[in-house]
Amino acid sequence: MKRREFMILLGSTAWRPLAARAQPLPKLPTIGVLGPVNAEAAGQWTAALVQRLRELGWIEGRTVAIEYRWAQGRAERAVEIADEFVRLKVDVIVTSGTTNVMAARQVTSVTPIVFAAAADPIGNGLVASLARPGGNATGLSNQSTDLAAKRIELLREAIPHLNRLAIMINPAYPGTKFEMAEGKAAAQTLGIEVVDHEILRTEDIAPAFDEIKGHAQALRVVDDRLTFDNRVLINTLAFAAGLPTMYGFRAQVETGGLMSYGPNFRDLSRRAADYVDKILRGSKPADLPVQQPTRFDLFINLKTARALGLDLPPALLARADEVIE
């Protein structure tokens, strides 16, 4: 072989692997995570989701891409994020919280949506039924309506003489009317008088306590973005009024609330990953039944109880998943 022919042959064979490497890589399946608040607040929820995805073979950056966005507790921002995800053509949107699920459903009826927790999915129009969701959304109920009665019962157990209860609600929150109805029914069964106090903005909180003080023996705060963001203020005013409080999340107990009872959100996040796995492998949300929580957490702030002069029953403390001292 002549030298000129050899060099041409060598050059052509050397070029082919480089050309192959220059070809664009196949697009990874993409998950759009619509976080309800911010990265810090959703840290444990996101970590549980990602860890379960890894266990199922979906490794971020290798077998799946994950786009994270944070709604900062604003419904309009959630709509913007959902719209962005649709334009990015993500394969599935994962979110948590009724408001965020409703925002995603407002934007798309095609892109699959998995909710890690939502209040009353049927009552809020997220799915047609639990067994057959029928649309592009499925996931897990936080069972807030069903838990309303249990929270009242736990307050009565902590305060045996409880017969007047105040409930603080934000009527703009989608799950309020359902939880209020269940809570009032449970209270009536226990012989507890209930008065609800509505708040629509931070400025309404202090006046609400002016009305509650002296007219109730305990306070149930219905959880939503407004009450969560103002948990320190609410707990400060509740303590000043001598009111034991009941919530649905640990964060409110960490900042001085007396008790919280609700689903284990790390477990819900892991189970949400199972839905994502099924959808990425070809299942349709319409065919995946909505599931209920199976693990629940009771948190008690013993320091708050002592400061309020409450002597909590040992049996109640023994059942707590964590007693904060």
CB-side neighbour CA atoms (13 Å) of 150: 15
Average pLDDT over residues 282-286: 97
pLDDT at 64 over 70: yes
List the beta bridge partners of residue 299. Answer: 260, 322
Average pLDDT over residues 286-299: 96
- Strands 218-221 and 193-198, by their bridges, are unpaired
Judged by average pLDDT, the poorest of 13-17, 177-181, 191-195 is: 13-17
Average pLDDT over residues 155-181: 89
pLDDT band, very low/low/confident/very high, at 23 (cuts 50, 70, 90): low
Average pLDDT over residues 128-154: 92
pLDDT at 145 over 80: no
Judge whether 30-142+264-295 and 144-263+297-324 match in fold.
yes
Average pLDDT over residues 141-170: 92
Please indicate whether residue 206 or residue 148 has the higher confidence score (pLDDT). Answer: 206
* Cα–Cα distance measured from residue 260 to residue 189, given in angstroms and rounded to the nearest whole number: 21
Burial 67-106 (b: 16+ CB within 10 A, else e): eebbbebbbebbbebbeebbeeebbbbbbbbbbbbbbbbe
Highest mean pLDDT among 7-21, 36-50, 92-106: 92-106
* Cα–Cα distance measured from residue 121 to residue 105, given in angstroms and rounded to the nearest whole number: 12
Residue 268: per-residue pLDDT: 96
Query: Within a 10 A sphere around the Cβ of 276, how many other Cβ atoms?
Result: 26
Average pLDDT over residues 47-62: 97
Beta carbons of 81 and 34 less than 8 angstroms apart: yes
pLDDT at 73 over 70: yes
Average pLDDT over residues 270-278: 98
Residue 63: per-residue pLDDT: 97
* Cα–Cα distance measured from residue 289 to residue 278, given in angstroms and rounded to the nearest whole number: 12
Residues 6+ apart with CB under 8 A from 146: 182
Angle at the Cα of 307 (from 304 to 311), degrees rounded to 5?
85
User: What is the homologous superfamily of the domain 144-263+297-324 according to CATH?
Assistant: Response regulator (3.40.50.2300)
Chain center to CA of 12:
57
pLDDT at 144 over 90: no
Predicted TM-score (pTM) of the model is: 0.85
Residue 25: per-residue pLDDT: 56
* Cα–Cα distance measured from residue 25 to residue 8, given in angstroms and rounded to the nearest whole number: 29
Name the strands in the sheet holding 92-95, side by side, starting at the edge strand that comes first in the sequence: 65-70, 30-35, 92-95, 113-118, 137-141
| Sign of the C-alpha dihedral computed for residues 162, 184, 260 and 229 taken in this order | negative
pLDDT at 21 over 80: no
pLDDT at 116 over 60: yes
Average pLDDT over residues 41-46: 83
How many H helices and E strands in the chain? 13, 12
The mean pLDDT value of the chain amounts to 90
List the beta bridge partners of residue 64. Answer: 60
pLDDT at 6 over 60: no
Return the closest-CA partner of residue 175 out of 116, 108, 101, 244.
101
**In this predicted model, what pLDDT tens digit does every residue of 213-266 receive, in sequence order?**
999 999 999 988 889 889 999 999 999 999 999 999 898 999 999 999 999 999
Please indicate whether residue 27 or residue 32 has the higher confidence score (pLDDT). Answer: 32
pLDDT at 131 over 80: yes
pLDDT band, very low/low/confident/very high, at 146 (cuts 50, 70, 90): confident
List the beta bridge partners of residue 198. Answer: 169
Q: Percent of the chain having pLDDT more than 90?
A: 74
| CATH architecture entry for 30-142+264-295 | 3-Layer(aba) Sandwich (3.40)
Distances (CA, A) of 290 to 32, 72, 94, 130, 281: 20, 26, 14, 5, 18
pLDDT at 16 over 60: no
Structure tokens at 281: 């492998």
DSSP string, 68-124: EEE-TT-HHHHHHHHHHHHHHT-SEEEE-SHHHHHHHHHH-SSS-EEEEEES-TTTT
Residues 6+ apart with CB under 8 A from 127: 121, 133, 134, 135, 137, 138, 290
* Cα–Cα distance measured from residue 325 to residue 292, given in angstroms and rounded to the nearest whole number: 31
